[in-house]
Structure 1
C-alpha cells in the first residue's frame, strides 16, 4: 500500500522557528519515494509563498503547492457555497489573497459573509463593523477555532477568542472551517486526489489534528514535540492510531509506518 501524508506544521516540522530534528530527513524520504503529501496549518495569516520562505529559513524545502492553510480551505468552501460572493474580512494576506483568487469581492457594504481569520493587529473598529454586519444578516465564517497561538513572549489571543467575542455580541455562532472540522482534511485530500483509507494525518494536538483525522477517516499519528503530551492522550474519548516521540521516528518507515 502507498500512503499519502498530511502533516501539521508547527509542533511537528518546526517549533518556534526552529527545525524539529528529523523533519528534513522525513520530507526528503517522502520525495525520494514519490509519496504525496501536504503540510497543513490552521494559521491563516500567511500565503503558501510566505510559509515556504519561512520553512526555507529553518532548512525545510516545501513547494508552495504542498502547503495547505485554513485560509485556502475557507476560500474553497466559500467558493463552493456562493461562487463570486462578497465578504468583509478581518485577517491578513493569507486570507485576503485566497479569497481574491477564488473571485471574491472584499467589502464592508452588505457582504454575503463576515470572514474572521488570524491577525496580530485586531482592530476594535473592524470587530465592531463585523458585529454590525452579522447583526444585519451577513453569515459568520471563521478560519479556525484555536483560542490562543504561540509566540516567543507567550500565548496570544487567536481566532477562536475573537470569534467568541463576536458570537457573544451577536448571538450568532461562526462556522469554523479549519481543524478540527474534517472539512479541512477532505479539501486537502481533494487537492491531492487522495483517498482517506490510504492517508495518514500527523499532528501534535489531540483536540485538532487527531480529532479531525479520525472524523475524516484517516490514520492518525500523534508526535510529542508540540502541544499534547503522552499523559494527555488518556483524557480524550478517542485515540490516535500511533503515538511517537518525534517525526524523526518515521524516517525509514514512511512506506509502511504501522508495520
Structure 2
C-alpha cells in the first residue's frame, strides 16, 4: 500500500512517537484527538510488558495524552492473545510483572511452577536468579519457551539496563532452546492488533521510530509504514537498512490535518 489517503486505521508506537521521557511530543495530543473525533480505529502499541494497559493509560494521561486503555496494545497482551489461541486454559511459569501476569490471567491461564505448558519471560526490573534457574529447569523438562519482546536493553536514568532479550539469551545459552518472541519485530503483534480493532492490512498504517522493529514488522505485515525522526532513527540510521518506509516525517505533527482558515468577505 503506497498512499496515505487510503489509510482508514492506524497503529502507532508509543515511545519516540507520542512521548519522549514522559513528555508528549509535538502534535501527539492533536493527532489522538483527531482520531477520536473522527471515529478512526487506532491502537497505541508498545513492547513494554511491565505495565497493564490501564497503567500505561494513566502514565500517558500524566504526559498530557488521552489514550483509553482499550486503545493500548502491549507485547504482554499480544503474548496472552497468542497463547490463548494456541492452548486455551493452559498453564505457565512467568517471569515478569503485572503487565504479563494480568494479561495471562485474563486470557484464562493458570500460573504454576509445576509442569507448566509454557515458560513465559517478560520485562521486569527485579529479575530473580532463582526464577531464572527454575525457568531453565522447566524448559529442560519440556515446557515451551515464550518471550514477550526481544529488546536486549531498556532505558533508565542511569543508562541502559538488561531487559527481556538479555535474560532470554541467558536462558537460551543454558538450555539450547530458542524462544518464540511475540512482540515487535514479529508481525504477529501487528496481526493481533489488527484483529482487535477489526482492521485490514490493506488500509492500515504503522507509525514508528525504529527501523529494526516498527518499520520492518510493518512492512512484513503489509502495512503502510511511516517513520518519524523524533525517536532513535536519523538519516544515518535509515541508510543502514536494505528496506525503506513508505514515508519519513519529522514527527506526528505532520499527520495532523490543518483546519481551513475562514476568511471574512
What TM-score do you get using the length of structure 1 for normalisation? 0.96
Distance 2:243 2:8 in 1: 22
Deviation for aligned residue 1:250: 1.0
Contact 2:94 2:121 in 1 (8 A): yes
Distance 1:109 1:56 in 2: 40
Deviation for aligned residue 1:152: 2.1
Aligned twin of 1:257: none
Aligned twin of 2:89: 84
What TM-score do you get using the length of structure 2 for normalisation? 0.94
2:162 paired residue among 157, 162, 168? 157
Q: How does 1:44-193 map to 2 (within 5 A)?
A: 44-193=49-198
For residues 193-240 of structure 1, the C-alpha deviation after alignment (integer angstroms, 9 at most, x for no partner) is: 001010000001000000110000001001111111122111111111
Distance 1:216 1:2 in 2: 15
For residues 31-58 of structure 1, the C-alpha deviation after alignment (integer angstroms, 9 at most, x for no partner) is: 1221110000001000010000000000
Q: Which runs of 5+ in 1 are unaligned?
A: 254-259
Of residues 85-94 and 2-11 in structure 1, the stretch that sits farther from structure 2 once superposed is: 2-11
Provide the aligned C-alpha RMSD in A: 0.9
Deviation for aligned residue 1:18: 1.0
Deviation for aligned residue 1:2: 4.9
Aligned residues: 253
Contact 2:151 2:164 in 1 (8 A): yes
Aligned twin of 2:253: 248
2:23 paired residue among 7, 18, 41? 18
Contact 1:55 1:62 in 2 (8 A): yes
Distance 2:41 2:98 in 1: 27
Of residues 1-10 and 101-110 in structure 1, the stretch that sits farther from structure 2 once superposed is: 1-10
Contact 1:16 1:151 in 2 (8 A): no
